[in-house]
């Protein structure tokens, strides 16, 4: 982040995005952990390690969105609500980006809001988890 195509992904570094997410989590009274890896197995490990101690997942799976079936299984096995986030509007880009193998595992997908997609997802997920009205 910060070095990828600015038009699609914005100019903020990952640290800066994580800082904004952490600030919003603090304001919401939510405990979060931000985790990034370029390796699918590391993401799977992280989800498996979190079993029983996480209430929800906000995930941008990058290109794994389009083919990451191990990640999809791990998200399903996590058994918690998942919100899929994309910085860019994947539905307005190349044909191969429009299909997400994670989408039917997720509660919702947010695409095209840039870094604000993460805070929007966090806020919605925290609200849904903490509110029995759904």
Ligand X SMILES: O=C1C[C@@](O)(C(=O)O)C[C@@H](O)[C@@H]1O
* Chain positions contacting ligand X, by CB under 6 A: 60, 62-63, 65, 86-88, 90, 97
9 is catalytic: yes
Residue 83 sits at φ, ψ, to 5 deg, of -115, 125
Q: Where are the alpha helices (DSSP H) in the chain?
A: 6-9, 14-28, 40-49, 69-78, 116-129
CA distance 120 to 95: 26
**How far apart are CB 29 and ligand X at their closest, in Å?**
27
Choose between 18 and 65: whose C-beta lies nearer to ligand X. Answer: 65
Please state, as a whole number, how many other Cβ atoms lie within 10 Å of the Cβ of residue 54. Answer: 16
**How far apart are CB 94 and ligand X at their closest, in Å?**
8
**How far apart are CB 86 and ligand X at their closest, in Å?**
4
67 is catalytic: no
H/E element holding 85? strand 82-86
Q: Running DSSP on this structure, what letter comes out for residue 24? A: H
Choose between 94 and 132: whose C-beta lies nearer to ligand X. Answer: 94
- Which residue among the candidates 86, 91, 99, 118 is catalytic per the annotation? 86
Choose between 47 and 90: whose C-beta lies nearer to ligand X. Answer: 90
Residue found by looking up tokens 């989590």 in the block: 25
Active site amino acids: 9, 86
């Amino acid at each position: 982040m910060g070095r990828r195509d600015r038009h699609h992904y914005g100019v903020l570094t990952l640290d800066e995005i994580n800082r904004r997410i952490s600030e919003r989590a603090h304001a919401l009274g939510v405990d979060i952990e931000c985790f990034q890896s370029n390796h699918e197995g590391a993401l799977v490990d992280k989800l498996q390690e979190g079993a029983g101690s996480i209430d929800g997942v906000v995930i941008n799976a990058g290109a794994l969105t389009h083919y990451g079936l191990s990640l999809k299984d791990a998200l399903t096995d996590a058994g918690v609500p998942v919100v899929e986030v994309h910085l860019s509007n994947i539905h307005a880009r190349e044909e191969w980006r429009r299909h997400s193998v994670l989408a039917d595992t997720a509660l919702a997908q947010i695409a095209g809001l840039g870094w604000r997609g993460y805070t929007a997802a966090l806020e919605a997920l925290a609200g849904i988890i903490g509110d029995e009205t759904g």
